[in-house]
Structures are given as structure tokens and as C-alpha cells.
């Protein structure tokens, strides 16, 4: 098998996937095509940041839906990666009655599906918020089941895992679901299918072998199901509680909730700059506002129908503990918002700097330099924890090296 892995990066942001893979082995992972487009924005800050760091391969700043199928057909792709938005995955039959699915307009997973249909990569690695496994709230598990069925119909097996970066030594308590799909014709797939689900999910699977877990599931959470053959039926009727890890092969699903064998996290203190500009320190008015926002409160509100109710919010520490890893960073970081990190250094309260936020995600210092501070915060709130991708990249490299030199027989069903 060729040692080079050609990569397509979708919804690339500022390049977290690519940076993580290149840290795993830059000589192996070659990004041949990347797309980043921020709709409704005149300035494309993330794309500009991406192109300032990477020059090899084609980089496209346009709506992915406008890229023709021929573009992907012409690329020799081994791996597709991307972090995509969590949206509504309800589907319906086409009006003509022909086979096929018509998703809600703007659902970007259908663009991932289109890329896979036209390029047939061996591997797919995706990242999303962990609530994807339980959405929508009125039909738990439907959206993720639709995704799994799409992978099934395209000839892939899937492993997934919710990973908290802080549990594996990093500086942020960021929980995200990672989805690894691989073609059923691969030798790797055959080896995985020969394992018991217990060995795959707790010891030898893609995630368990790289992010170790205890041998028993949390509170004995373990379940199985079979996905309906009709994806529209899944959209209309299917409901199932997917746990934080699992495997799907040919529509047969096994899911469980493992417990991480934790590595001591990196504390906030380790990523703090020794000196920062005065602008990052809280004014007296900001300090008062944050005291209120982070405090416990009960507020009487009136709904749109005129119903009175009490909105309650629990209190949180007035500052973030420097001895602990940071909380999950959001796109609102750096604003006067309850979720913004506030630290106290030498008796003074301040915001995290954009550089410190880059460190929370494991980027190189000043990766987003050149943007306005608010955009630097926004991009880091959208980004992933890069070292996790490096760990996964090393595993993908190992899998690829063990594959025999042969042409894959591409099979999928519509």
C-alpha cells in the first residue's frame, strides 16, 4: 500500500485537522483539496488564516454545494476529514418518487455524502458536538442513525467515540464526538469485524487502542439495534439511545459508554502568558457584570403565550481555577458572557488572550494572528483540540501501512 495518504479537508476552519495530521507525519498526509466558506460574511477570516499556513494542494473558498461532482471524481482521495455543523437531518422521498433522498436545505452532511459518492475514499474522519448522538430531542438518535445508514449504504463500517480532551492530558474539557468510517473491503475492516464488540470497543478498536478505557461500561450501559433499510423510515420513525461509543457494520449497531483511563490534564496555569496587555484586565463595570452573570439567579419571565415562569440558573465560581483544565471554549469567548473564561492572576481578574485560547486547542502560538481579537476568539471557539487529531492520524497511518497493495472493489447501494 502506498505510504502517502491523500486528504480532502471539508469545513476546514483554520486548519485544525490538517495541522494535527501533519504533526502525525507530514510526509504521509498530503492535503490535496480543502474547502472553507463562511456564509453571510464578506471577510473570510478562517480561510485567510488557513492559506497563510498551508500552500500545498488546492484551497477553495466557495460554498461547497456549488462545487461540481467532477471535482471530486478527478481527485485521488484516501481520507476525507471535517468538522461539520450539527443540523436537522430529517429526510423525505424525492417528489418524482424515484430513489434518493432530499435533505433539508443547507444540511452540510449531504455534501459529505456527495463527496464520498464521487471519490470513494478508504477512510473518513469527522468531528461534531456530542449532542449529535441524541438529536433531535423529540426523536432521540434519529439524526445520527440517518448518518450511519448513509455510511452503510456507501459500503462503510463506522466506529464512534465521544472524547473529552482533558481526560487524555490536554488543557480543555472539550467533549466532541469523533466518527471514523472505513471501507468494508479493507483488510482492517475484516480484522475489526472478526473481533467481539467488547474487544473492539474497549481494547482494540480505532479509538480504544489510541484513547484507553476501562474494561467495563459505565453503569452497564450497553445496547444493540438494527437500522431500518429505508433511510426515510429512519427519519420518520426511528428512535434509539446511542451511547458515547459504538460500532456499526452493515446496519448492525452496538453502543456502550466506556470510562476513560485518564491521563492527568494540563492545568490552565500551564498555558497562561506571564504578561499581557492592560486591555485584557476587567474594568470595574465588567467585574460587576461577570459577578452577576456567573452567580445563581431566579428571574420571573413571561412566555410568548403570556405564561409566567421562573428562569433559574445555578451559580459558578467567579473565576476559573488555574489548577484545573479550562472549560469548553465557545465562539462567544472574550465577550461579556457567562461562558467566557475569567482568570485571576496576581489578584487581578482578566480574560484569556487569543494566544492562550490557541493553546487551549493545541495550536501553535499566534496561529490566528492578524485577525481582530473577536474573530480570533470566534475561530478558536469553533476549532477542535489538535493533539487529538495527531493521535488519530498516527493510528490511520498504521492502518494504511498494513493494507495490501490492491485495488479496492467499490460497492455501495442507492
With residue 224 as reference, give the H or E element that holds it: strand 222-226
- How far apart, in whole angstroms, are the C-alpha atoms of residue 101 and residue 234? 12
pLDDT given at position 107: 77
**Three-point CA angle 298, 300, 301, nearest 5°:** 125
Output the pLDDT for position 92.
Answer: 54
Residue 384 near residue 127 (C-beta atoms within 8 A):
yes
* 86 annotated active-site: yes
The closest alpha carbon to 169, from 82, 246, 273, 260, belongs to 260
The span from the CA of 213 to the CA of 215, in Å, is: 6
Q: What is the pLDDT of residues 130-187, one digit of tens each?
A: 999 998 888 999 999 999 999 999 999 999 999 999 999 999 999 999 999 999 999 9
* Residue 270 confidence (pLDDT): 98
**Main-chain phi, psi angles of 67, to 5 degrees:** -80, 125
Full pLDDT tens readout for the chain, 414 residues: 568 999 999 999 999 999 999 999 999 999 999 999 988 778 899 999 999 999 999 999 999 999 999 999 999 999 999 998 766 555 555 444 433 344 454 478 899 999 999 999 999 999 999 999 998 888 999 999 999 999 999 999 999 999 999 999 999 999 999 999 999 999 999 999 999 999 999 999 999 999 999 999 999 999 999 999 998 899 889 999 999 999 999 999 999 999 999 999 999 999 999 999 999 999 999 999 999 999 998 888 888 888 888 888 899 999 999 999 999 999 999 999 999 999 999 999 999 999 999 999 999 999 999 999 999 999 999 999 999 999 999 999 999 999 987 554 444 444
For residues 400 and 5, is the Cβ–Cβ distance under 8 A?
yes
CA distances from 269 to 14, 368, 396 (A): 25, 21, 33
How many CA atoms does the CB half-sphere of 286 hold within 13 Å?
A: 16
Pairing of the two strands 29-35 and 58-60: parallel
Residue (of 268, 348, 384, 375) closest to 20 by Cα position: 384
pTM across the whole model:
0.92
Distance separating alpha carbons of residues 319 and 369, to the nearest angstrom: 26
Q: How far apart are the C-alpha atoms of 395 and 275, rounded to whole Å?
A: 38
Return the pLDDT at 235.
87
pLDDT confidence of residue 1: 53
Q: Can you give the residue ranges of every domain in the chain?
A: 5-263+385-401, 268-382
Give the pLDDT confidence score for residue 352 in this predicted structure: 98
Cβ 101 vs Cβ 91: under 8 Å = yes
329 DSSP assignment:
P
For domain 5-263+385-401, the question of CATH label 3.40.630.30 is answered with no
**H-type alpha helices, 99-163:** 109-119, 142-153
Q: Are 162 and 244 in contact (CB under 8 A)?
A: yes
Cα separation, 238 vs 19, whole angstroms? 38
Whole-angstrom CA distances from 258 to 103, 145, 175, 255, 320 are 33, 20, 14, 10, 28
Catalytic residue among 49, 86, 357, 379: 86
* Phi (first) and psi of residue 355, to 5 degrees: -65, -40
Contact 377, 357 (CB under 8 A): yes
CA distances from 411 to 122, 184, 294, 327 (A): 12, 9, 54, 43
d(C-alpha 156, C-alpha 247), whole Å: 11
- For domain 268-382, the CATH architecture is Alpha-Beta Complex (3.90)
Residues sharing a CB contact under 8 Å with residue 323, sequence separation 6 or more, in sequence order: 267, 268, 269
Amino acid at each position: 500500500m502506498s505510504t502517502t495518504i491523500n486528504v480532502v479537508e471539508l469545513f476546514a476552519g483554520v486548519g485544525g485537522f490538517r495541522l494535527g495530521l501533519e504533526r502525525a507525519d507530514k510526509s504521509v498526509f498530503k492535503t490535496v483539496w480543502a474547502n472553507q466558506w463562511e456564509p453571510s460574511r464578506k471577510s473570510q477570516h478562517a480561510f485567510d488564516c488557513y492559506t497563510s499556513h498551508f500552500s500545498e494542494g488546492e484551497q477553495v473558498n466557495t460554498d461547497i454545494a456549488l462545487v461540481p461532482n467532477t471535482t471530486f471524481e478527478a481527485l485521488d482521495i484516501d481520507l476525507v476529514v471535517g468538522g461539520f455543523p450539527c443540523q436537522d437531518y430529517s429526510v423525505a422521498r424525492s417528489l418524482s418518487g424515484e430513489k434518493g433522498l432530499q435533505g433539508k436545505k443547507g444540511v452540510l452532511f449531504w455534501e459529505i455524502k456527495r463527496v464520498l459518492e464521487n471519490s470513494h475514499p478508504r477512510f473518513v474522519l469527522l468531528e461534531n458536538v456530542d449532542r449529535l448522538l441524541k438529536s433531535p430531542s423529540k426523536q432521540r438518535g434519529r439524526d445520527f442513525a440517518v448518518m450511519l445508514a448513509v455510511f452503510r449504504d456507501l459500503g462503510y463500517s463506522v466506529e464512534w467515540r465521544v472524547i473529552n480532551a482533558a481526560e487524555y492530558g490536554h488543557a480543555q474539557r472539550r467533549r466532541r464526538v469523533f466518527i471514523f468510517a472505513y471501507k468494508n473491503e479493507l483488510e482492517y475492516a475484516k480484522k475489526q469485524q472478526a473481533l467481539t464488540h467488547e474487544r473492539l470497543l474497549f481494547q482494540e478498536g480505532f479509538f480504544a487502542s489510541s484513547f484507553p478505557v476501562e474494561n467495563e461500561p459505565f453503569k452497564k450501559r450497553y445496547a444493540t439495534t438494527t437500522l431500518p433499510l429505508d433511510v426515510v423510515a429512519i427519519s420518520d420513525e426511528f428512535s434509539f439511545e446511542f451511547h458515547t461509543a459504538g460500532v456499526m457494520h452493515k446496519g448492525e449497531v452496538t453502543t456502550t459508554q466506556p470510562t476513560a483511563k485518564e491521563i492527568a490534564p494540563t492545568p490552565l496555569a500551564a498555558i497562561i502568558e506571564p504578561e499581557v496587555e492592560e486591555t485584557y484586565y476587567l474594568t470595574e463595570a465588567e467585574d460587576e457584570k461577570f459577578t452577576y452573570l456567573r452567580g445563581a439567579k431566579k428571574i420571573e419571565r413571561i412566555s410568548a403565550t403570556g405564561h409566567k415562569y421562573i428562569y433559574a440558573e445555578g451559580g459558578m465560581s467567579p473565576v476559573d481555577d488555574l489548577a484545573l483544565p479550562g472549560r469548553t471554549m465557545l465562539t462567544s469567548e472574550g465577550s461579556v458572557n457567562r461562558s467566557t473564561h475569567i482568570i485571576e492572576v496576581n489578584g487581578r481578574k482578566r480574560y484569556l488572550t487569543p494566544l492562550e485560547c490557541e493553546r487551549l486547542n493545541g495550536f501553535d502560538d499566534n496561529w490566528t494572528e492578524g485577525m481582530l481579537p473577536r474573530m480570533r476568539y470566534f475561530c478558536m471557539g469553533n476549532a477542535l483540540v489538535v493533539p487529538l487529531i495527531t493521535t488519530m492520524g498516527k493510528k490511520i497511518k498504521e492502518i494504511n501501512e498494513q493494507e495490501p497493495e490492491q485495488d479496492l472493489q467499490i460497492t455501495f447501494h442507492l
